[in-house]
Structure 1
Amino acid sequence: MSILIALILAGQPSFAEEVYQTVGRRFTFLPLTGFSSDDGIGGGFRLSLFDYDGETIPYARTFSLQGFFTSKGKWAHQFRADFPEILKGNRLEISVRYDKEETASFFGDLSEGDLLPFSEDERNFEQIDPFITVRLIRTLNAPWQIQFRVRTGKTYIKPKTPTNVIGILSPLGHDGGMLLQAGVAVRYDTRDDYVNTIRGRLGEAGVEWRFGDGGNFNSIELTIEHRHFKEVLNRVILAQRLHGIYTFGDIPFYERPKLGSSKTLRGLSADRFRDDGRILMNTELRWLGVRASHRNNIYAGANLFSDIGQVFPRRSWPKSDQWEVGVGVGLRIYWHSTVVRADYGCANGGSALYMRFSQIF
């Protein structure tokens, strides 16, 4: 989405072999600027505080604050707190977000030819999403865990013109609404570090209930996921993720499984495809890089990746001729427990550049 222009301020000294073995508080501050054809010129910051006790992996606790704006009206603001051991064997994560997009779109089954008569303003609408997410992961008999997740918020949809694509299609949720999500998942987690994994596996199977808008939204989502990490060479990691989603019931269009963006298939236009089910596989070869600063525990690395996925309707299976494929390269900056990810992906004749603050998985 954006290009990181490096401005890295001095942190506290750290000479431990692993960052979690340090003791004390560490700050990272990243001023950001970038440009993309979809979002325009952007700017903002990411401030993180990590508290290390020398034992807890990946840290004892962390707090982060992000603010980001673009000239085309995209906002991505977030406060996040993570407590890996808030009580013994219990991890608590809280996230508060405020997202805004003035050029959001939904095309349903319309082709590029179907969209030609519509102007850009008729294709796009404004979407605002304030929400809070609370997640609790309890270790049962390691490596077995159970996860509880609650998310609630309200989506606002505002078309730009009286005649518009979203109004003509009128999908469920075209005028927004409140939504409550509550889910539970069983997990099998042997990863050595969930922030930046070198080795291990994560398997997860979950179910989530979604309800809102006076009962108009009422659906169930089933998910299954497997992640595998292996150090194939010194500081070179083969990372793979297989993820599947299937939904039942009445779900607003903006919550349907999506394909395209930095979180799913890189290089494909953001959320270009939506449907009732999705299968996705991501493969990365990650080089953890070289230490750029001993004093501030900064590493610079790189990766190669491929993404393949498909969305499909209910009572159907993925089709062999409808897979979308993306490939690309990326750069990484590891600063204490902050991971800065810059990926350039190509898919379906298009390309995109993204900058994010965590590994894709």
Structure 2
Amino acid sequence: MKRLILCISVFLIGFVLFSPVSAQLMDDTDRQGSQHSIFPLVGYTTDYGLFGGGVYQRINYADSRRPFLSNMMVDVTGSTKGKWAARVDYERIEMFSRPIRNRTIVDLELNPIRSYFGIGNNTLYTREDLDDGLYYLNQQHALVTFEARTPLFDITGESALDGALRLKTSYTSATEDGEETRFYTDPPSHFDAGWVNTLGAGLLFDSRENEFAPKSGQRHEIGIDISSSLFGSSYSFYELFADLSYYLSPLENTVLAQRFTARHNIGDTPFWELPALGSSRGLRGFALDRFMGDSSVLYMAELRQWLVSFLDDEIRLGAHLFFDTGRVFSEFDSNELFDEWKRTWGVGGAMTLFSPDLIFRGEVGFSGEDYRIYAGVGYAF
């Protein structure tokens, strides 16, 4: 208990230290022009330890364009456990003067504590083995993603069904970190370093009134991603996915957010591309990537509320409760859909600083095995 209290205290200190160097004040209902923000980051997460870095965001609202004309975010962090990560994320709602929304993401990562617990929904876990590094491996990863989407036809006055096209290219290298590690004693079927280049397509419907902190509406996406030697990939496989989210406000300043996701992989999928559960994006409270399989299902629910605000809503503080449940499927597991679902719950806080479209989030999640502390940018969904 003392250790838990200490970790929560460190997390809260780090959460307060999210502070802006410069920011242009904007009204949430009438945003115009460009906003530049630089935020130094200091915080703590259970999986990566103490971390530091910074976030730069530039949002161009032009003449009150919604949600924006363009949005760029640069995020660079390093942790005391040796993980270094950098991301550049640029999105624009027009391309070639046409309503083709496009997004380009570049991810770079050096991670000596990438988690691997084996394949399946019931792999063994002890906190002592995790602390001794028996579930770790060394991974280097580089990824470039480009996505473009355009409306196929209007459904309501403010929402449409979009067709999406995705291109991804990545290179990943993973090596064992000792002969006693799980990655060495029970390696996955496909783990050799190599390229994964995918071509994907899908459909997306989005009726949320706000993309950063929605109070109402829906966002649904289904699609397929194909990796093939014809694209220069080292592995040939394909993935089907569905991602369905709902938002409603049962009370003033209170939002009930729900999300259901499903993924299914077929072919020679490298382990780092397999569906995994246990992170800040699902089954919060389990160790990172705790469960891995050929398929996964996940349900998440959050009850969010903004509690107080300062400086005419330029600074807002909020809290939320959450519940996650889901499981993975593999050749080692029961294929009964409703068997052996894992469950977690937790509490979190949220904060905006001078921009309603830049939200800092911190959470503590609890599972039957462990607890985890998270900190990051943006809501989980």
Task: Tell me the TM-score normalized by structure 2.
Answer: 0.86
**3-state SS of the aligned residue for 2:272?**
helix
Aligned twin of 2:136:
124
Q: Secondary structure at the match of 2:243?
A: strand
Identity %: 24
| TM-superposition CA deviations, 1:78-127 (whole Å, max 9, x none) | 111111234442211111011221112323255238x96x9945542110
Whether 2:116 is the aligned partner of 1:106: answer: yes
Unpaired stretches in structure 1, ≥5 consecutive residues: none
Q: 3-state DSSP class of the match of 2:228?
A: strand
1:317-328 matches, within 5 Å, as 317-328=335-346
Amino acid in structure 2 at the alignment position of 1:106: Y
In structure 2, what is the Cα distance between the partners aligned to 1:304 and 1:121?
31
- Residue number in structure 2 paired with 1:141: 153
C-alpha separation in 1, matches of 2:28 and 2:179: 60
Cα drift, residue 162 of structure 1: 5.2
> Please, which of 34, 58, 73 is the counterpart of residue 43 of structure 2?
34
Alpha-carbon distance in structure 1 between the residues aligned to 2:233 and 2:87: 29
- Whether the 8 Å contact between 2:47 and 2:287 is mirrored in structure 1 is no
| Alignment of structure 1 residues 1-361 onto 2, 5 Å | 3-4=14-15, 5-14=17-26, 16-18=27-29, 21-86=30-95, 87-109=97-119, 110-112=123-125, 120=132, 123-142=135-154, 143-161=160-178, 164-211=181-228, 217-294=235-312, 297-313=314-330, 317-335=335-353, 336=355, 337-361=357-381
Superposition deviation, residue 159 in structure 1: 2.0
Cα deviation, 1:11-69, whole Å, max 9, x if unaligned, reads 2233x342xx2222212222111234432321111111111124321221111111100
- The worse-fitting range, judged by mean Cα deviation, of 152-161 and 90-99 is 152-161
Rounded to whole Å, the distance in 2 between the matches of 1:155 and 1:354 is 25
1:173-230 CA deviation, whole Å, 9 max, x = no partner? Answer: 3232111122111122211122221211122221111236976511111111211111
Q: How many residues align?
A: 355
SS across alignment from 2:93: strand
Larger strand percent: 1
Give the counterpart letter for 1:134 in structure 2: F
Unpaired segments of 5 or more residues in structure 2? Answer: 1-6, 155-159
| 1:112/1:122 CA distance change after superposition, 3 Å | closer
TM-score, structure 1 as length reference: 0.90
Tell me if structure 1 keeps the 8 A contact 2:194–2:233: no
CA shift in 2, pair 1:156/1:187, >3 Å: same
Q: Deviations over 1:238-291 (max 9, x none)?
A: 111111111111100111100100011111110011001111011111113433
